[in-house]
Amino acid sequence: MINSALFVSDEMPGGGIGDIAAVEVDGALTVVGVSRWGRDGVWVWEPARNVWRNLVLPFACAADPQAAQYPDAGNELDSLALAVSDGRVVLAAGGDEQGVAFWDVGAGELISGTSFDAPYVAAVAALGGGDGPARFVSCSGVHRDGITMWEPLGGPSPVELPESTVDALGTGSFEGRSLVVAGTREDVTLWDVDSRERWASLYTDGGDEHVDEDEDIDDYDEDADDERIRAVALARQGGGLAVVALTDSGSVLVWTLPSPRPAGTDGEPAREGLTRARAGLPDDLDEPDEEIEPVRDPFVGHEGSITALATAVVDDRPVVVTGGADGSVRVWDLSDGRALGAPLTGHRDSVRKVVTGTLRGRPVAVSAGDDRTVRVWDLAARAH
């Protein structure tokens, strides 16, 4: 059936699911999940067999001299990302109380650890790189400013991109360039991580807060300009890019950027063209050349707030996949905000995370949340 999941997991041991990551390996999905509390280890789910396997990870801080003072310490992971490199499934993970570290999922081995005083992790994401080495980006929220780029399998030292406090990360590509989009406390920014150039600064411009009727309004900051970005994503749209952001209160913002790097130019001419196309640069924030206003709340239909989002391309059409507090997953045409089909239902509680990918050449979405289950949805069936 078109509204039925391709795969549905049994309940993940350890409580509600706080984060998941998924990759395709040899025509099958591997999904790694972690509970909302981050202290029950990570769990690997293989949809074809519907088996949850507890992955016992070596302690990331074991090599730190301070480890002897904390013999009972273990990994406390909240944020996950996966990448495949030379046949190895590499897990990047960290949390509110732990810096980012890297493990080989198949072997269960620590690739690169961290220390007790390393910046904690608010979000981590994999950078697409084809057949190249696995690369990741991480941010630390209030613990430290900036974005750090990692190449854990023998790559160079971590690279830092200067940025204000970053709470959310998304990745994508444009004309062969690897991009990262960051949700900061002031704006949403777009970076070319290969050249280490900031391509755009997009302002949320305040706006009305959206508070569920069953939520206490005191839970939200009175200043909407300071509202935290919960999730960000990129999608190719025509000759340019769309940037999608989800705020703490459940508002969805969409910016459509013209070609962020004009074709056939490079160097200073390209940067001058970029200045005209985007909403402000670090050296001209007081007088941006052109404001690119976000389209506010183009996706209306969840019974309650939107809690998670991701983007995908289905039959050359950019789509947004959202998860809600109502337990449903919805698919939207990014260009006009039109819902594609009926809601995808089955979750019995809030959806906490949605990720997208491919399975045997078909685009899929993977959702998880407070009901402790993971569901895999065929997006190709929604595009018609």
| pLDDT at residue 342 greater than cutoff 60 | yes
Domain boundaries in the chain? 7-62+75-216+223-382
User: Which residues, in sequence order, are bridge partners of residue 53?
Assistant: 44
- Residue-level pLDDT at 209: 38
Residue-wise burial string across 149-177, b where 16 or more C-beta atoms lie within 10 A, e elsewhere: bbbbbeeeeeeebebebbbbbbbbebeeb
| pLDDT tens digits, 94-120 | 999 999 999 999 999 999 999 999 999
- Residue-level pLDDT at 87: 86
Averaged over 292-320, what is the pLDDT?
A: 81
pLDDT band at 15 (very low <50, low <70, confident <90, very high): confident
Q: Which of 348, 370, 357, 347 is nearest to 321 (CA)?
A: 357
| pLDDT at residue 280 greater than cutoff 50 | no
- Residue-level pLDDT at 226: 59
| pLDDT at residue 352 greater than cutoff 60 | yes
The answer to whether residues 93 and 33 touch, using CB atoms and an 8 Å cutoff, is: no
pLDDT band at 260 (very low <50, low <70, confident <90, very high): low
Of 34-38, 165-169, 181-185, 238-242, the range with the lowest mean pLDDT is 34-38
248 CB neighbour count, 10 Å cutoff: 17
Percent of the chain clearing pLDDT 90 (strictly above): 53
Angle at 176 (CA atoms; ends 170, 181), nearest 5 degrees? 20
Percent of the chain clearing pLDDT 70 (strictly above): 81
Q: Which of 316, 278, 299 is nearest to 354 (CA)?
A: 299
Give 333-341's long-range contacts (Cβ < 8 A, gap of 24+). 334/235, 334/237, 334/242, 334/244, 334/254, 335/237, 336/298, 337/295, 337/298, 337/299, 337/300, 339/299, 339/301, 340/382, 340/383, 341/2, 341/3, 341/382
User: Which residues, in sequence order, are bridge partners of residue 183?
Assistant: 168, 188
| pLDDT at residue 61 greater than cutoff 90 | yes
246 CB neighbour count, 10 Å cutoff: 25
For the chain, the residue count is 384
pLDDT band at 2 (very low <50, low <70, confident <90, very high): low
- Residue-level pLDDT at 264: 39
**DSSP tag of 350:** -
The mean predicted confidence, pLDDT, of the chain is 82
**CA distances, 320 to each of 147, 176, 183, 381 (Å):** 25, 22, 17, 15
| pLDDT tens digits, 202-256 | 887 644 433 343 333 233 344 444 578 999 999 988 888 899 999 888 888 888 8
- Residue-level pLDDT at 130: 55
| pLDDT at residue 38 greater than cutoff 90 | no
Residue 13 to residue 235: CA distance in whole angstroms: 34
| pLDDT at residue 63 greater than cutoff 90 | yes
pLDDT band at 259 (very low <50, low <70, confident <90, very high): low
Tokens at 169, concatenated: 């990360």
**DSSP tag of 349:** S
| pLDDT at residue 294 greater than cutoff 90 | no
3-state SS class at 117: coil
Q: Which of 80, 70, 66, 58 is nearest to 374 (CA)?
A: 80
Query: According to CATH, what is the number of the domain 7-62+75-216+223-382?
Result: 2.130.10.10
The answer to whether residues 57 and 40 touch, using CB atoms and an 8 Å cutoff, is: no
- Residue-level pLDDT at 339: 87
> What is the pTM assigned to this prediction?
0.85
| pLDDT at residue 306 greater than cutoff 60 | yes
- Residue-level pLDDT at 82: 97
